[in-house]
Amino acid sequence: MFKLNNNSHIIVIVSVITGISLLGDSMLYITLPIYLEDVGLDSIWQVGILLSINRFIRLPFSPIVGWIYSKISLKTGLMIAILLGSFTTLGYGVFNGFLAWIILRALWGIAWSFFRIGGLSIVATAAEENNGKSIGLYNGIYRLGSLIGMLAGGLLVPILGIDLVSIIFGCLTLIGLPLILLFINGQSPSQVEVKGKETKTEKRPFIQRLQKKYLMIIFTGFCITMLFQGIFTSTLSPVIENHYGEIIYLFGTAVSVTFFSGVLQSARWVWEPFLGVRFGHWSDGAKGRMPILILTLTITSLIFWTISMDLPLFLFITNTFLVLIAATSLTTVVDAIALDFSKKTNEVSVSFLTSYSIAQDFGASIGPFISFMLIELENGFSYIYFGSSVLFFVLALLWFISSNGSFKQSPII
């Protein structure tokens, strides 16, 4: 199917291309709430909309992108994504004002639809029986782009300004084009069969059983992205500023709140390539995905709400790291469950992966919007994080009930 000799190589190449494209987007979550006036904004609610609109725009466009992938090659789709991604990131440094940024963020949303649906389809076709390990590798590598974007953005924006940093990141995004031309030459996802799956005569009753889990997977994907990518990522900088001020004193050194928030969140992307693969590998084992999924959801429900509390700085950092480790585990395992579901027919179900991506987009888009509305209320941070903890516990309970109280195999396998 691909020119590369090993299926894992194509996953690595696409992950690297995707990671480079994320530089500008990830930088905004750290810097935009603090430097909103530098890009022509005048209210925090505008920041919430801008951090959400790229995901809202994917709701109507993801089905279109899924259909386009049935007509074009992976190579063409990724080239479209990179060109759009580069243009939008460059635009952050050129255009100012709320309306201009609405357009730019919407275009980035379309670009990410090409990246996300194409990437999940690649993993589904190349993973064979190791969905957990493969999705951990894919997620871990491309999220290194978020590591660089958050860390470099938090460090450089106070020095160089958001305009110049955006232009630099936009130029770097174009590095993905020669990588595509050199290494990728693939079929559209809908043309790829999954070997060893059920025959057509076996397919109908099997799929009827799987449909009972469809909404559960979609709802979980929505909640995980809303809580981590939407709420936690977009509010961590304001939470830290609220607790400790604009300047953080750490080991006798004064650092900006944006840099400190960037360091904390970037830590996840440091361990993601290793822990993501490890969590995925564990979930591929004989005990299945349920033990790690339910246990992680339960633990997260106990610690997530503490982020809104006025804790000593060391304890706040510790709890933040625990939340980020949980994000790695849950994202990997839930994505693996989605791939399990998508591969239960003779062909990779691009339609299901598209639906799953839409649910994730909706969750990630509504998270910042809700957060920045609630922040303005008295005790707004407490409402946000305590409510999130309750939702984590509800998810753990639902999956436990769904598995009939069993911690053995994933209920959809």
For 300-344, write each residue's pLDDT tens digit. Answer: 999 999 988 888 888 999 999 999 999 999 999 999 888 888 776
Provide the strand spans (E) within 263-405.
none
pLDDT, mean of residues 100-121: 90
For 151-202, write each residue's pLDDT tens digit. Answer: 788 888 888 988 899 999 999 999 989 888 887 765 555 555 544 444 443 4
- Helical packing angle, 23-31 and 162-173, nearest 10°: 160
For residue 378, count other CB atoms closer than 10 A to its CB: 6
For 233-248, write each residue's pLDDT tens digit. Answer: 888 888 888 888 778 7
Q: What is the rounded CA–CA span in Å between residue 66 and residue 249?
A: 48
Q: Which CATH architecture has domain 7-188+200-402?
A: Up-down Bundle (1.20)
Q: Are 50 and 69 in contact (CB under 8 A)?
A: no
| Domain boundary assignment for the chain | 7-188+200-402
Q: Are 115 and 80 in contact (CB under 8 A)?
A: no
> Residue 351 pLDDT > 80, yes or no?
no
Q: What is the rounded CA–CA span in Å between residue 57 and residue 60?
A: 6
DSSP of 116-164, one letter per residue?
HHHHHHHHHHH-TT-HHHHHHHHHHHHTHHHHHHHHHHHHHHHHH-HHH
